Amino acid sequence: MIGDAFDASREQVQSRIIKERIEGAVVDLYEYRKFDDDKLKNKLLIGQAIDICLCKDKELSIIDFDIDHADKSIEKEKKIRQNNINIMSPQNDGLVQGTRGVIHAYCNKNRYKLPSNQNEKVVAYGDNIEIDIFAQMYTHKDGKLVENRVVQSDKKVRIMDEDVQKKEIFRYKKLNDQSNTTHLASQYHILGKWNLDLTVNDKYFSIINEDCTFDIMPAGIADI
Please report, as a single letter, which amino acid is at residue 141: K
Look at the chain and count its residues: 224
Instruction: Encode pLDDT of 18-74 as tens digits.
Output: 999 999 999 888 875 666 666 666 677 778 889 999 999 889 999 999 988 888 888
221: left (phi over 0), alpha (psi -120 to 50) or beta: beta
In a domain, 206, yes or no: no
In a domain, 207, yes or no: no
CATH number for the domain harbouring residue 174 = 3.30.2250
Instruction: Encode pLDDT of 164-180 as tens digits.
Output: 555 667 778 888 888 99
Q: Which H or E element spans position 138? A: none
For the chain, helix, strand, coil in percent to 5 are 25, 30, 45
DSSP 35-60: S--GGGTTS-EEEEEEEGGG-SSS-E
Residue 93 has pLDDT above 80, yes or no: yes
In a domain, 205, yes or no: no
Closest CA to 123 of 213, 215, 224, 195: 195
In a domain, 50, yes or no: yes
Q: Domain range spanning residue 30?
A: 2-185
SS (H, E, C) 146-189: CCCEEECCCEEEEEEECCEEEEEEEEEEECCCHHHCCCCCEHHH
Residue 120 has pLDDT above 50, yes or no: yes
Q: Which H or E element spans position 32? A: none
User: Which value, in Å, is the radius of gyration of the alpha carbons in the chain?
Assistant: 18
Residue 11 has pLDDT above 60, yes or no: yes
**How many folded domains does the chain comprise?**
1
pLDDT value, residue 195: 82
Distances (CA, A) of 168 to 35, 44, 100: 17, 17, 11
Instruction: Encode pLDDT of 123-157 as tens digits.
Output: 887 778 899 999 999 999 999 999 999 988 876 66
In a domain, 131, yes or no: yes
How far is it, in rounded angstroms, from Cα 53 to Cα 134? 10
For 94, half-sphere exposure in the C-beta direction (CA atoms, 13 angstrom radius) is: 27
In a domain, 55, yes or no: yes
pLDDT value, residue 218: 38
Please state, for a pLDDT cut of 70, what percent of the chain lies above it: 74
In a domain, 213, yes or no: no
pLDDT value, residue 37: 64
In a domain, 181, yes or no: yes
